[in-house]
Amino acid sequence: MPATVIDGKSLAASLRATLKRTVDALAARGVRPGLAAILAGDDPASRVYVRNKARACAETGVHSEVHEFAQEVCENALLERIARLNADRAVHGILVQLPLPRQLDAGRLLAALAPAKDVDGFHAANLGLLLQGRPGVVPGTPAGVMRLLEHAGVPLAGRHAVIVGRSNIVGKPLALLLLQKDATVTICHSKTADLACVTRQADILVAAAGRPKLIGAAMVKAGACVIDVGVNRLADGKIAGDVDFNAVKEVAGWITPVPGGVGPMTVAMLIVNTVRAAELSIA
């Protein structure tokens, strides 16, 4: 039997509708959540991502502003803007759209964000809280993956979760969230020997490598839940994930599509984090 397709697009839409009600309730108390995006350079994908985030803000009633800088911008100009936004009471969340132009040090810029406004959850303070299992801001993509798993009713406790990819923004934080739910977690990466041997053991397999069709049907255990985080632009301009969707859906128990899976959830969770930051600012 083919896999159940987990529909991230509709789950994200219902989450945005819920968020709109929370935002309206906050507005009645005189607070409008606000998100500032810093966009430096002319990476076309970054422009699309920032536009999608602004659209989700508009739909949920969140104030949004985009702070654009030229490709050649110097780090001090961005640090000054971050300091100003940190102090701006109308701004509850700040995100620095990655990747940044080469002359800029992403680590230094992220460290300059007020942790309470770091709605991407990439600041070391928030990643540290996540490591310790304490409340903080959780990065949107791994948080979105957890919501998708919960929504689909995928059992996690005692199950083997295998994540392909060890980035600070996806693989590592997701491993911590799955551990919190009592999964047994393995992280694979580009130096993993015999990747297929590991992925075939997964009850939950998450692909976050940025390699189209990396995960084929022979790498998936029958009935496993396969979550595709990958976003790859193919030569024909189409977007594809890391999973060979048509082949794997015949083997897996659940699968997420690309587009329409993890991507919309990432954006929705960013709004969740922004609204939460606004709530905490008046708590």
Distance CA 148, CA 7 (A): 8
Evaluate whether 8 touches 148 at the Cβ level (below 8 Å).
yes
Task: Return the number of the residue (31 or 152) whose C-beta is nearest ligand NAD.
Answer: 152
Bond into 212 cis (ω within 30): no
Q: What are the angstrom distances between the C-alpha of 94 and each of 61, 228, 265?
A: 17, 27, 18
122: nearest Cα among 140, 104, 101:
140
127 touches ligand NAD by CB under 6 A = no
Q: Has 53 been annotated as catalytic?
A: yes
Q: How far is CA 42 from the centre of its chain?
A: 22
Interacting residue with ligand NAD among 184, 232, 247, 281 (CB under 6 A): 232
- List 255's β-bridge partners, or say none: 5, 226
Point out which span in 66-74, 100-108, 111-119, 189-197 binds ligand NAD (CB under 6 A). 189-197
**Residue 55 lies near ligand NAD (rule: CB under 6 A):** no
Choose the binding region for ligand NAD from 30-38, 100-108, 162-170, 244-252 (rule: CB under 6 A): 162-170
Give the β-pairing of 239-240 and 232-233. Answer: antiparallel
Given 152, 188, 198, 215, the residue binding ligand NAD (CB under 6 A): 188
Tokens 């979550």 belong to residue: 227
230 counts as binding ligand NAD under rule CB under 6 A = yes
Of 125, 179, 195, 217, the residue at the interface with ligand NAD (CB under 6 A) is 195
Alpha carbon distance 245, 251 (integer Å)? 10
Least distance in Å: CB of 8 to ligand NAD?
A: 9
Nearer residue to ligand NAD within complex by CB, 36 or 214: 214
71 binds ligand NAD (CB under 6 A): no
Q: At what angle do helices 262-282 and 8-28 cross, to 10 degrees?
A: 20
Question: Contact with ligand NAD (CB under 6 A): which of 5, 211, 217, 247?
Answer: 211
**166 forms part of the interface with ligand NAD (CB under 6 A):** yes
Pinpoint the alpha helices (H) of 187-256. 195-199, 245-248
Using CB under 6 A as the binding rule, whether residue 263 contacts ligand NAD is answered as: yes
Paired with 66 in beta bridges are: 37
Nearer of residues 188 and 243 to ligand NAD, judged by Cβ: 188
Q: Active-site residues: which are they?
A: 53, 97, 120
Contact residues: ligand NAD, CB under 6 A: 141, 164-167, 169-171, 188-190, 192, 195, 208-211, 214, 229-232, 262-263, 266
